[in-house]
């Protein structure tokens, strides 16, 4: 079975791109199942179901979506095996931009759109740099120059990635994505595999439902911004 993770900022077109791509796979008689991880609520499950394929949806709710994602990988993998899937596509929408769901030995796709900030590579670092394929959407509404600049930015962050431009509305370009999906490695088991990038730490009083603001309510792993004016920089 091929196990493929798909990540990207909200509204970048992940689901739209995948639906077009899955249609091509189904036309070739490939057995596809989809897993979708989200935070609060999603209708994407129904969109995939309309394709007539098995879908599993996981909502992280009160838990950090990244930390929800990893323990559920085996659940999804085993479910897909039971469905005798040839390709499992796991779309992760809930992950924060610090995280990347990419797994060593499994095809990893990131979807970004031409309308997002030109500095997006800095903002979502690992999600882009750990991907095997970077899909760029919404190219139909920006200039050729911007498409080229955007693409170049992606190449600089992730020189090894295959970069594909796909139109989520018309599906243009999804055929090439399908071809690349078919070349994804076969995976026997997910257990024991490793993430390509670490997850951020998250053990503090707010993780367990604390709502009050103030030093005395903050327990666990807490880090404060140094209150000096700096020229940007991280955290």
Partner 1 sequence: MGKDIRKITIIGGTTKSGGKEAIEKTEIYKGDIITLVGPTGSGKSELLSDIEQLARGDTPSNRAVILNDGELNRWERQMVAQLSQAMNFVLDMPVEDFLELHASSRGISSNPIIEEVIGLTNRLSGEPIGARDNITSLSGGQSRALMIADIAVISDAPVVLIDEIENAGINRLMALEILSAKGKIVIVASHDPLIILMAQKRIVMHNGGMFKVLERNKQEEEILKELIAMDDELSVLRDRLRMGDFARGGGMLLMNKSGSVEEKKEESSNFEII
Q: Which residues sit at the interface with partner 1, rule CB under 8 A?
A: 24, 114-115, 118, 139-149, 151-153, 163, 170, 172-173, 175-176
Question: In the complex with partner 1, which residue's Cβ is closer, 145 or 225?
Answer: 145
CB of 12 to partner 1, least distance (A): 15
Query: How many residues comprise the chain?
Result: 235
Q: Based on CB atoms, which residue is closest to partner 1, 76 or 177? A: 177
> Is the Cβ of residue 65 or residue 173 nearer to partner 1 in the bound state?
173
Minimum gap (Å) between residue 167 Cβ and partner 1? 9
**Least distance (Å) from partner 1 to the CB of residue 169?**
11
Closest-CA residue to 181 (of 199, 166, 191, 194): 166
Supply the minimum distance, in Å, between the C-beta of residue 168 and partner 1. 14
Q: What's the Cα-to-Cα distance from 182 to each of 45, 48, 202, rounded to whole Å? A: 23, 19, 36
CB 105 within 8 A of CB 187: yes
DSSP letter string, 13-76:
SHHHHHHHHHHHHHHTT--EEEEEEESS--SHHHHHHTTT--EEEEE-TTS-HHHHHGGGHHHH
Q: Which is nearer to partner 1, 145 or 227 (CB)?
A: 145
User: Is residue 103 a contact partner of residue 48, using CB atoms and an 8 Å limit?
Assistant: no
Nearest approach in angstroms of CB 97 to partner 1 is: 20
In the complex with partner 1, the residue whose CB is nearer, 20 or 36, is 20
């Amino acid at each position: 079975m091929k196990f493929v993770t798909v990540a990207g900022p909200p509204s970048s077109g992940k689901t739209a791109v995948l639906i077009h791509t899955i249609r091509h796979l189904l036309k070739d008689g490939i057995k596809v199942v989809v897993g979708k991880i989200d935070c609060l609520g999603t209708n994407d499950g129904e969109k995939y179901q309309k394709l007539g394929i098995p879908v599993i949806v996981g909502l992280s709710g009160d838990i950090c979506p990244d930390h929800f994602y990893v323990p559920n990988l085996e659940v999804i993998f085993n479910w897909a095996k039971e469905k005798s899937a040839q390709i499992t596509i796991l779309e992760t929408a809930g992950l924060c931009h610090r995280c990347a769901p990419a797994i060593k030995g499994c095809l990893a796709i990131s979807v970004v759109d031409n309308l997002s900030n030109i500095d997006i590579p800095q903002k979502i670092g690992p999600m882009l740099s750990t991907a095997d394929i970077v899909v760029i959407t919404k190219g139909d509404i920006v200039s050729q120059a911007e498409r080229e600049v955007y693409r170049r930015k992606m190449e600089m962050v992730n020189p090894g990635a295959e970069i594909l431009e796909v139109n989520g509305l018309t599906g243009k370009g999804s055929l090439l994505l399908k071809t690349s999906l078919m070349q994804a490695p076969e995976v026997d088991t997910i257990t024991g595999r490793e993430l390509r990038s670490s997850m951020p730490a998250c053990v503090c009083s707010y993780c367990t439902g604390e709502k009050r603001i103030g030093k005395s309510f903050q327990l666990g792993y807490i880090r404060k911004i140094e209150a000096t004016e700096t020229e940007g920089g991280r955290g």
